[in-house]
Amino acid sequence: MLSFSRARSTGRNSRPLAGGMDYLEPKKKSNVMGKIILGVSLTVLFIIYLNHRSSSSSSTAFSRSEEGVTHVLVTGGAGYIGSHAALRLLKDSYRVTIVDNLSRGNLGAVKVLQGLFPEEGRLQFIYADLGDAKAVEKIFSENAFDAVMHFAAVAYVGESTLDPLKYYHNITSNTLVVLEAVARHKVKKLIYSSTCATYGEPEKMPIVEVTPQVPINPYGKAKKMAEDMILDFSKNSDMAVMILRYFNVIGSDPEGRLGEAPKPELREHGRISGACFDAARGVTKGLQVKGTDYKTGDGTCVRDYIDVTDLVDAHVKALEKAKPRNVGIYNVGTGKGRSVKEFVEACKKATGVDIKVDFLPRRPGDYAEVYSDPSKILRDLKWSARFTNLQESLEVAWRWQKKHPHGYASS
């Protein structure tokens, strides 16, 4: 039971009620409600302002094709990976449109990008949900896209086992909406952000692109369904398609402009790096490692950790190399597996904090060992991971985390 001590109040705007709770007079209550309404209104107005600022004066630049300029739609571009991809594209002189409903993304990341690239015709942000077919059609009708990088997706294995319908709707259904718009408007290139989760738990390691896809959780299943739709469509299309199946993403922008800032309510489902950093900062009491009885060297899961800077470099190379009427499918990883225990030790060194670790039973939907064979992407796209030192990648990410303890709200 909870017990409350009786509150005493001598203020003119409150009266004590039974149980020790104060009652706010209408005037006081209206002031509080007014502040809440004002805060919500300002947020909505700011989103409208960003849309207007990005598109009003330079709408013709985004709505027409321009020789020598490639216009890329980045779905989910306010998210962790999507924002880093948008940054790289902008640095490489691409024209970028970000579409995001901000359910998982951060408006702060968009503001950072707009501050770095304020020139007209470089970047626009559109607040929209890809599940809204009319909104998506309007976006494609009003813009001349040369390519689409489709990142937008919910992406937590654990959450997908708890709420599978959300994943099939957000990943599979929304990808269909995007694909239909791409087909109607004859967009030339599609780069699809997929995952190693489509492979499930293969019998042999490392994973190659022809390894059978037998996903074991709704996240992987939803992504595979989306892949299948894209592959079926491509058989009778001139569109160039690249499907990138990447592994566990870590790190952040080396120059400290962007980082990973998941919603607080999603911490329990998030990446292990975020969980380590939360423990190091004292946000949580420690780190929970789920599963110590897997058939691996130390009993914990083995994963292939890919730095986000390398990952977006692979996307840009895929965009450059994509050819009409061709489909490229590539694993994007380092080719080396690291156990969760190894990861935790690297995180302790990167943060300088002796993180408390609790070992718990397995999490539903997880698999023992997954790492890539990246030889195909090296051969075809001349890409290989450069940032392969696990501790160094975590040190870069940790610097951003310390500077932004409340995510982009710290800026």
295 three-class SS? coil
8 three-class SS? coil
Q: How many CA atoms lie within 13 A of 132 on its CB side?
A: 12
CB-CB contact of 183 with 233 (8 Å):
yes
Cα angle, residue 12 at apex, residues 8 and 13 outer, rounded to 5°: 90
Nearest to 370 by CA among 138, 184, 204: 204
CA separation for the pair 408, 53 (Å, rounded): 20
Sign of CA dihedral 106, 111, 117, 123: positive
314 three-class SS? helix
Cα angle, residue 213 at apex, residues 211 and 214 outer, rounded to 5°: 125
86 Cβ contact partners less than 8 Å away, ≥ 6 residues apart: 74, 77, 96, 98, 113, 123
User: 80, 168, 219, 367: which is the annotated catalytic residue?
Assistant: 219
CA separation for the pair 151, 134 (Å, rounded): 20
Told to judge if 219 belongs to the known catalytic residues of this protein, a careful annotator would answer yes
Q: Tokens at residue 359, please?
A: 């070992």
306 Cβ contact partners less than 8 Å away, ≥ 6 residues apart: 246, 247, 248, 249, 250, 332, 333, 334, 385
Strand pairing partners for 3?
Answer: none
Cα angle, residue 292 at apex, residues 288 and 294 outer, rounded to 5°: 135
CA separation for the pair 364, 383 (Å, rounded): 34
Catalytic residues: 219
